[in-house]
A and B are shown apart, each in its own frame.
Chain A
């Protein structure tokens, strides 16, 4: 929801970033305000996933130019965990499987670590069980999820639900969801989208990184940014998504290249 005078959550200006010497982002700009939902779309290899990793602080990427400000604070020198404690959440396209770590105890550890950093109360295992039950219900997850190893042997849908479950307990101010819709059947997509819609409010923002328009039928964005060649080449409202759905990306890419030349 777009609100006048809303606080700026994320301000990315002229961001250039590279991995192993290959430049992926080339002057990307985006501004996200509280209460808004943004979608970043673009063809494969356009740099959308890189953008999400760079904002979360992935160590393999180096920021060569530009700034990433989160609520006015420069993020570039912060570790991923410091960013998480400030309120940034990255939902992974491919959540990592960690056999041997129990999902439930991991969630509690993450929750308590983040709570502690934010000066809030930590929860003991019993309190945490109560706390997480409502979040499990929201995502239609059984409590047995907590007994399993983190993402280990989870189906695609279960992994994505688990990502949103983590988002639910970490209560981020900025949630970047990278290809959250990939690998989901229509029922799982509904559940996940419903989870995101329920968690989203006036004081936080969501950025959806997606290749397809499908997810946007369930989570309605305020802005759509088309990224190509490592920068935003077009920004529009949700109608842009429908246009992309029917016409593909080609016409924007062409329009953009002709406007450049």
Chain B
């Protein structure tokens, strides 16, 4: 098993080769090298590891993936159909590489600076931010896939939100995969300076690609008083592997709000690691993962409070239909120093089929003695009382179940901060929760 994972990693590392166009940046080269070294010490995970025991990647490791072609042509109308009207800037990464043709960056109107890696390296202040933050936002749960991304990313969507940005602007980072049995390592770095505000949609979708692997890392840093609204929408192709890391650091009085929606891929894994690293940060997370047909959808969340007066609130809902497998591991870690933490976590799982499965695991590690931490996890079926109620209003069994399944999921997106997305997600929910 682990040999397969080592060979798989080696083939990816080899294919990508050394000497990207950024290799003259010594620090960057070192950082990518560092990750390669890490990968040698900690190979890609198998189910023998506790953190991965529910998600079997053997099929991925057995597959042969290649570097996506760079000359692939993308139909602009397809990209346009995916863009959202709220976005002032849309950064489009095709197979992990910034596409200047497809991206829409309005330098005049937009207050928020968005760049790709190449442009960022030509800007002194951005370069120093990159040096400071890239792969340096600490937290539990950085797995070998994260290291692999660091070793192999070809580009980075860099979003720098200056302290002067006090109104929310929406940025869309659209990651499209075009390849057949290819891999890509999309990377995102979002820096919100003191008191800055930003709303971001991080979006993954397959356009013509299949059997591909997306292995993303997103790093988000909030300085004191910053407010970040972050929607991650995973709507990859049903044949794809989607492995994602989100690392978030929250400073004094900053507020991070996240919606993580997983409605695609054959196998997906999201490591969502958020850390309140100064006094009084606020972390709000809403998750929705739909297990459809034979999909495996795995969310590993870790909320860490390292300093006093932190707040966190997480609601994660899943629906497991067909022969799907749904995993939620929700860790909340309160460090010794993090007194007066107020944290709540709620995980609700709805089973639609006898052949589907749910593994739900709340994990509380509390080392401070003056904290309020509530958590709950439920796995259940549609309630008979709710069904009866709807049936007495004329809805037959199938209609009533569809209404209730849909409602269960939709609650997560009722307050979605990007209005035009609601309809998109609603149609995924409708399609994937049908009885």
Interface residues of A (CB under 8 A from B): 56-60, 79-81, 83-85, 88-90, 92, 95-96, 98-101, 106, 109-110, 113-114, 117, 149, 166, 170
Question: Whole-angstrom distance between the alpha carbons of A90 and B390 in the complex?
Answer: 11
Q: Report the bound CA distance from A7 to B386 in whole Å.
A: 33
Minimum C-beta distance from B314 to chain A (A) = 17
Query: Per a CB cutoff under 8 Å, which of A88, A92, A113 touches B395?
Result: A113
Q: Are B384 and A98 closer than 8 Å at their CB atoms?
A: no
Q: Which residue of A lies closest to B409 (CB)?
A: A100
- Kindly list chain B residues whose C-beta atoms are within 8 Å of the C-beta of A166: 393
Closest to A115 in B: B394
- For residue B377, CB closer than 8 A to chain A, the reply is no
Highest count of chain A CB atoms <10 Å: which of B384, B403, B404: B403
**CB-CB nearest 10 A-B residue pairs:** A100-B407, A80-B391, A100-B411, A110-B393, A96-B389, A114-B394, A100-B410, A84-B394, A101-B407, A81-B391
C-alpha gap A93/B400 in the complex (Å): 20
Q: How far, in whole Å, are A114 and B386 apart by their CA atoms in the complex?
A: 18
Report the Cα distance A109→B404, complex, angstroms.
13
Q: Is the CB of B384 within 8 A of A59?
A: yes
A237 to B198, CA, bound (A): 69
Residues of B within 8 A of A101 (CB): 403-404, 406-407, 410
B388-416 vs A, CB cutoff 8 Å, 1 = contact: the mask equals 11111111110110011011111100100
A131 nearest CB across to chain B (Å): 16
Contact A96 B384 (CB under 8 A): no
CB of A99 within 8 A of CB of B407, answer yes
CB distance from A78 to the nearest CB of B (A): 11
| Inter-chain contact B394/A117, CB cutoff 8 Å | yes
Are the C-beta atoms of B404 and A98 separated by less than 8 Å?
Answer: yes
| Cβ-neighbour of B391 out of A84, A89, A99 (below 8 A) | A84
A92 contacts B403, C-beta separation under 8 Å: no
Q: Which residues of B are found within 8 Å of A58, using beta-carbon distances?
A: 388
Do most interface residues of chain B lie in helix, strand or loop, or is the interface mixed? helix
Contacts of B414 in A (CB 8 A): 99-100, 149
Report the Cα distance A57→B394, complex, angstroms.
12
CB contacts (< 8 Å) of A113 on chain B: these are 393-396, 399
Residues in A with CB closer than 8 Å to B71 are none
Residue pair A56, B392 in contact (C-beta under 8 Å)? yes
A81 near B395 with CB under 8 A, answer yes
Contact B397 A79 (CB under 8 A): yes
Q: Are B403 and A80 in contact (CB under 8 A)?
A: no
With beta carbons under 8 angstroms apart, the residue of B383, B389, B400 that contacts A92 is B389
Residues from chain A with Cβ under 8 Å of B396 in the complex: 79, 81, 113
Note all chain B residues with C-beta closer than 8 A to A149.
407, 411, 414
Can you list 19 A-B contacts (CB < 8 A)?
A56-B388, A59-B384, A80-B388, A80-B392, A81-B400, A83-B392, A84-B394, A85-B394, A92-B389, A92-B392, A96-B383, A98-B390, A99-B414, A100-B409, A100-B410, A100-B411, A109-B399, A110-B394, A113-B396
Q: Give the distance in Å from the alpha carbon of A60 to the alpha carbon of B385 in the complex.
A: 10
Report the minimal beta-carbon distance from B383 to chain A, rounded to whole angstroms: 8
Q: Which residues of B contact A (CB under 8 A)?
A: 383-386, 388-397, 399-400, 403-404, 406-411, 414
Which residues of B lie under 8 Å from residue A83 when comparing CB positions?
392
CB closest chain-A residue, reference B403: A101
Most B CB atoms within 10 A — which of A60, A84, A88, A95?
Answer: A84
Starting from the known contacts A85-B394, A110-B393, 10 additional A-B residue pairs (CB-CB under 8 Å) come to A81-B392, A81-B394, A83-B392, A90-B392, A96-B385, A96-B389, A98-B390, A101-B407, A101-B410, A170-B394
Known A100-B410, A109-B403; contact A59-B388, beta-carbon cutoff 8 A: yes
A100 nearest CB neighbor, chain B only: B407
CB pair A84–B393 under 8 Å, yes or no, is yes
Measured between beta carbons, the chain A residues less than 8 angstroms from B391 are 57, 79-81, 84
- Taking the closest CB of chain B, its distance from the CB of A13, in whole angstroms, is 23
B403 touches A95 (CB 8 A): no
Report the minimal beta-carbon distance from A112 to chain B, rounded to whole angstroms: 9
Query: In the complex the two chains form, what is the Cα distance from A117 to B395 in whole Å?
Result: 11
Smallest CB gap from A118: residue in B: B394
B361: min CB distance to chain A, Å: 25
User: How distant is the Cα of A81 from the Cα of B389 in the complex, in angstroms?
Assistant: 10
Most chain-A CB neighbours within 10 Å: which of B407, B408, B409?
A: B407
CA A101 to CA B414, docked complex, whole Å: 10
Residues of A close to B389: CB separation below 8 A = 92, 95-96, 98
Cβ of A88 to closest chain B Cβ, rounded Å: 8
Give the distance in Å from the alpha carbon of A164 to the alpha carbon of B404 in the complex: 22
Evaluate contact between A109 and B395: CB separation under 8 angstroms. yes
Which of A57, A80, A96, A106 neighbours the largest number of chain B CB atoms within 10 Å of its CB?
Answer: A80
Known: A80-B388, A100-B408. A106 touches B403 (CB 8 A): yes
- A98 x B394 contact (CB < 8 A): no
Q: Which residues of A contact B393 (CB under 8 A)?
A: 81, 84, 106, 110, 113-114, 166, 170
Closest B residue to A111 using CB positions: B394
Q: How far is B391's CA from A20's CA once the two chains are assembled, in angstroms?
A: 21
Q: How far is the CB of A249 from chain B (nearest CB, A)?
A: 29
A80-B392, A84-B392 in contact; A98/B397 too (CB < 8 A)? Answer: no
Q: What is the minimal beta-carbon distance from B415 to any residue of chain A, in angstroms? A: 12
- With both beta carbons as reference points, the residue of chain A lying nearest to B429 in the complex is identified as A100
- Given A98-B404, A99-B407, also A60-B394 (CB < 8 A): no
B407:A89 contact, CB within 8 angstroms = no
Quote the shortest CB–CB distance from A228 to chain B (angstroms).
Answer: 26
What chain B residues lie within 8 Å of A114 (beta carbons)? 393-394
How far apart sit A195 and B327, CA to CA, in the bound complex (Å)? Answer: 49
A58 and B409 CA atoms in complex are apart in Å by: 26
